């Protein structure tokens, strides 16, 4: 049977007039209803929402832990396999000979800033410290909490959560979207990446459902990032002298639990007004202006802050944590990629604690990266046109992973070293996760000059602000692109305002109903259906590349015509 050219037309019905002009009502309206219902539920019935979300979370962690862990392992294998596979690795994510739009520096800056950058300011310090105090090796009695024999184990887990697995989730989504959009001319939306499996049927209800799932996952994944960011942003503003944003020390909730020094409702509202206001303005300016400049600014500030930790922090400790830690991570990776701890149901037993810890950390992270994948993947696709698959995989998986490892080695390493050898005496241990980096820098600089410590806190707040704004405005643009059937035109302005407000309200509602744990629960739930979509994306991409190799051998075109795919500027 003769080979046919690949599908290069996937019509998606959009409104031709009115408020939804240019948008797919079948995607935009249901997505808005789902998100609006979640906001109302969380704000009007916070206790009920918290209880229900908690029950769902427990059920998913009990039954789907293995699914999340093995799925992310599958993503890593697929991405590395595509880079190594000669037929796939040389393919251009565009027409043959097309060059990238952005320089490598801007590409890395936007990719890192939108993908994980904001998390670095919280978790580069907080996570190694947390794993230094407890991890499966401590639970099993193999290493000792807060002791030197536990340092490399702490880094193995930190690198696992922020390394190849995280970026493989983004790379799978980005590859699928870029391949089918810029080589095939299909709409820049999630459904296009499944055309080798479902073909033209994706123009209808099945395609609408896939895009709705992607929009909801994106909002919940970004809400998780913003939820952590709000905590840290308020902690930073408190450190630079802005009061009234946290509960006073000694405050308790209705159940008598201590909530002193945690973000209060005023702090949530103020932080979100600043972050979402700035991000909406940036989103209105588009990727080539606001987001690009913000990404470049936060990359420069990141280099400055990281250089401070390398030069004035635990320099040699960081070198050891980086190089030896990576080696330990790579050795442990095969086991950690497939191992699932099974609980015996006996609270407090070793098996129970191991399964509980895995749910708190690896399963949570894999769900977070999967929920974040439609947003980051679509964003990566938009900024990676003209690069080869091999270049994309190396640039979107290896380089950002190493950048994360550098942050964890020197920022987190400085914190651990100060507690072990620097006389911090629990100052960093006892600080909240978002406040740990501020507590550490203040401890380092206060003996020199209080003004210098205040200035560094201000730099971190500004850097955090740029990271949060970059993530939020990118997410708003991506959601609108999906809702508009892949169109990025200026008609999206009113909807940018809606989604900017909706994202802020989701974060506020979930924080009020149950703090960051409520956002975490909603995100783990929202990520589950999209994880199925991503697995299908992998099979669709492999099938498409295999068939394109056969088409090339038979002289059948595999890409759209150059004049059709040319950039508007050309």
pLDDT digits (tens, 9 = 90+) for 435-454: 999 999 999 998 888 889 99
The answer to whether residue 16 is domain-embedded is: no
Placement of tokens 């991506």 in the chain: 478
pLDDT at site 51: 80
Q: Is residue 558 part of a domain?
A: no
Contacts of 52 (CB under 8 A, 6+ apart): none
Quote the pLDDT of residue 569.
38
- Measured at the CA of 499, the angle between CA 269 and CA 486, to 5 degrees, comes to 155
Residues 6+ positions from 242 with CB-CB distance below 8 Å: none
Distance (Å, rounded) from C-alpha 4 to C-alpha 76? 31
**List of residues 6+ apart from 155 with CB closer than 8 A:** 128, 131, 321, 325, 328, 329, 408, 409, 412
For helices 25-44 and 46-84, what crossing angle results, to 10°? 140
What local confidence, expressed as pLDDT, does residue 563 receive? Answer: 52
From 484, 410, 409, select the one nearest 441 (Cα to Cα).
410
Percent above pLDDT 70 for the chain = 91
Q: Is the pLDDT of residue 312 over 90?
A: yes
> Helices 364-383 and 450-483 sit at what angle, rounded to 10 degrees?
70
25 within 8 A of 15, measured Cβ to Cβ:
yes
Distance CA 180, CA 361 (A): 34
Kindly tell me the burial class for residue 271, based on how many C-beta atoms sit within 10 Å of its own C-beta (0-12, 13-18, 19 or more).
buried
- Reduced to 3 states (helix: H, G, I; strand: E, B; else coil), residue 21 is strand
Dihedral sign (CA 240, 241, 242, 248): positive
Mapped onto helix, strand or coil, the DSSP state of residue 125 is: helix
- Identify the band that residue 566 occupies on the pLDDT scale cut at 50, 70 and 90: very low
Residues forming beta bridges with residue 252, ordered by sequence position? 258
User: Would you say residue 448 lies in a domain?
Assistant: yes
- Whether 6 is covered by a domain: the verdict is no
User: How does pLDDT run across 493-531, given as a tens digit for each residue?
Assistant: 788 888 888 888 888 877 876 666 777 777 878 889 999
| Residue 256: count of CB within 10 angstroms of its CB | 6
Whether 565 has a pLDDT exceeding 50, the answer reads no
**Does any domain span residue 440?**
yes
Q: Tell me the per-residue pLDDT of 26-51, one tens digit each, with 9 for 90 and over.
A: 999 999 999 888 888 877 887 787 78
Confidence of residue 466 (pLDDT cuts 50, 70, 90): confident
Average confidence score pLDDT of the chain:
87
Residues 6+ apart with CB under 8 A from 404: 116, 120, 124, 159, 162, 163, 166
Which among 49, 64, 86, 164 has a CA at the least distance from the CA of 394?
164
Decide if pLDDT at 287 tops 70.
no
Question: Would you say residue 10 has pLDDT above 90?
Answer: yes
* pLDDT tens track for 392-407: 998 889 888 998 999 9
pLDDT at 115 over 60: no
Helices (H), 289-363: 292-312, 315-338, 350-358
Check pLDDT > 80 for residue 113. Answer: no
* Residue 489: pLDDT band with limits 50, 70, 90: low
pLDDT, tens digit, 9 for 90 and up, residues 158-200 = 999 999 999 999 999 999 999 999 999 999 999 999 999 999 9
Q: Which 8-state DSSP code applies to residue 2?
A: P
Residue 388 three-state SS: strand
Tell me how many degrees the CA angle 497-499-505 measures, rounded to the nearest 5: 105
Burial of 9 (0-12, 13-18, 19+ CB in 10 A): exposed
Q: Domain for residue 561, yes or no?
A: no
Among the listed ranges 82-86, 356-360, 562-566, which one has the minimum average pLDDT value?
Answer: 562-566
Q: Which of 147-161, 236-250, 455-469 has the highest mean pLDDT?
A: 147-161
Q: What are phi and psi of 217, to 5 degrees?
A: -60, -40
Measure the CA–CA gap between 216 and 34, rounded to whole angstroms: 8
Maximal C-alpha separation, the chain = 78
Q: Is 386 left (phi over 0), alpha (psi -120 to 50) or beta?
A: left
Residue 161 maps to a domain: yes
**pLDDT of amino acid 488:** 67
312 in helix, strand or coil? Answer: helix
Provide φ and ψ at 56, rounded to 5°.
Answer: -60, -40
Q: What average pLDDT does range 315-327 have in this prediction?
A: 97
CB atoms closer than 10 angstroms to residue 8: 17
Q: How confident is the model at residue 413, as a pLDDT?
A: 96
- Residue 567, pLDDT > 70, answer no
pLDDT at 108: 79
Question: What share of the chain in percent tops pLDDT 90?
Answer: 48
**Can you tell me the distance from the alpha carbon of 2 to that of 9, in angstroms, rounded to the nearest whole number?**
20
CA–CA dist 155, 417 (Å, integer)? 13
State the pLDDT at residue 570: 36
Q: How many separate domains does the chain show?
A: 1
d(CA 483, CA 141) in angstroms, rounded, equals 51
Report the pLDDT value the prediction gives residue 468, as an integer from 0 to 100: 82
Q: Which residue has the tokens 């606001």?
A: 290
Q: pTM for this structure?
A: 0.90
Answer left, alpha or beta for residue 345, where phi above 0 means left and psi between -120 and 50 means alpha.
left
pLDDT at position 48, please? Answer: 83
**CATH number reported for the structural domain that contains residue 275 in this entry:** 1.20.1740
pLDDT on residue 227: 83
Q: Is the pLDDT of residue 351 over 90?
A: yes
| Structural domain contains residue 381 | yes
The pLDDT value given to residue 207: 96
Expressed as residue numbers, the domain containing 419 is 26-552
Distance (Å, rounded) from C-alpha 91 to C-alpha 558? Answer: 11
């Amino acid at each position: 049977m003769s080979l046919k050219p690949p599908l290069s037309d996937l019509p998606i019905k959009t409104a031709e007039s009115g408020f939804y002009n240019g948008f797919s009502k079948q995607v935009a309206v249901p997505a808005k209803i789902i998100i609006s219902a979640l906001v109302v539920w969380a704000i009007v019935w916070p206790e009920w929402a918290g209880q229900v979300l908690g029950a769902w979370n427990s059920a998913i962690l009990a039954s789907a832990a293995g699914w999340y862990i093995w799925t992310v392992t599958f993503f890593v294998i697929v991405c590395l396999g595509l880079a190594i596979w000669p037929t796939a690795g040389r393919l251009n994510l565009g027409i043959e000979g097309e060059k990238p739009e952005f320089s490598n520096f801007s590409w890395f800056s936007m990719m890192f800033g939108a993908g994980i950058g904001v998390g670095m300011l919280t978790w580069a310090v907080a996570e190694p410290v947390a794993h230094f105090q407890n991890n499966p090796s401590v639970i099993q009695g193999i290493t000792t909490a807060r002791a030197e024999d536990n340092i490399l184990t702490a880094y193995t887990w930190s690198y696992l959560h922020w390394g190849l697995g995280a970026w493989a989730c983004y790379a799978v989504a980005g590859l699928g979207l870029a391949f089918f959009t810029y080589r095939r001319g299909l709409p820049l939306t999630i459904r296009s990446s499944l055309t080798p499996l479902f073909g033209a049927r994706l123009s209808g209800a099945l395609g609408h459902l896939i895009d709705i799932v992607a929009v909801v996952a994106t909002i919940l994944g970004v809400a998780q990032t913003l939820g952590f960011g709000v905590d840290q942003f308020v902690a930073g503003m408190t450190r630079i002298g802005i009061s009234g944003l946290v509960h006073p020390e000694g405050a308790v909730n209705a159940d008598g639990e201590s909530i002193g020094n945690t973000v209060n409702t005023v702090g949530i509202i103020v932080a979100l007004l600043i972050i979402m206001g700035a991000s909406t303005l940036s989103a209105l300016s588009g990727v080539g202006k606001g987001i690009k400049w913000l990404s470049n600014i936060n990359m420069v500030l990141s280099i400055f802050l990281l250089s401070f930790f390398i030069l004035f922090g635990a320099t040699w400790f960081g070198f050891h944590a980086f190089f030896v830690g990576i080696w330990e991570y790579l050795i442990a990776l095969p086991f950690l990629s497939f191992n699932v701890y099974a609980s015996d149901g006996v609270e407090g037993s070793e098996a129970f604690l191991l399964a509980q810890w895995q749910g708190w950390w690896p399963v949570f992270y894999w769900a977070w990266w999967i929920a974040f994948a439609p947003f980051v993947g679509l964003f990566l696709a938009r900024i990676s046109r003209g690069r080869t698959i091999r270049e994309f995989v190396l640039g979107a998986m290896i380089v950002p992973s190493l950048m994360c490892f550098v942050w964890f080695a020197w920022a987190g390493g400085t914190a651990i070293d100060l507690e072990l050898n620097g006389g911090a005496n629990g100052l960093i241990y006892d600080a909240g996760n978002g406040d740990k980096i501020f507590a550490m820098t203040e401890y380092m600089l206060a003996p020199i000059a209080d003004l210098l410590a205040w200035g560094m806190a201000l730099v971190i707040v500004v850097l955090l602000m740029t990271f949060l704004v970059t993530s939020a405005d990118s997410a708003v643009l991506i959601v609108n692109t999906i809702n508009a059937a892949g169109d990025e035109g200026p008609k999206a302005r009113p909807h940018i305002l809606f989604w900017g407000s909706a994202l802020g309200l989701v974060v506020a509602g979930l924080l009020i109903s149950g703090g960051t744990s409520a956002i975490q629960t909603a995100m783990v739930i929202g990520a589950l259906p999209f994880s199925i979509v991503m697995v299908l994306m992998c099979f669709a991409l492999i099938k498409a590349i295999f068939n394109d190799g056969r088409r090339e051998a038979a002289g059948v075109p595999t890409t759209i015509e150059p004049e059709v795919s040319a950039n508007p500027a050309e």
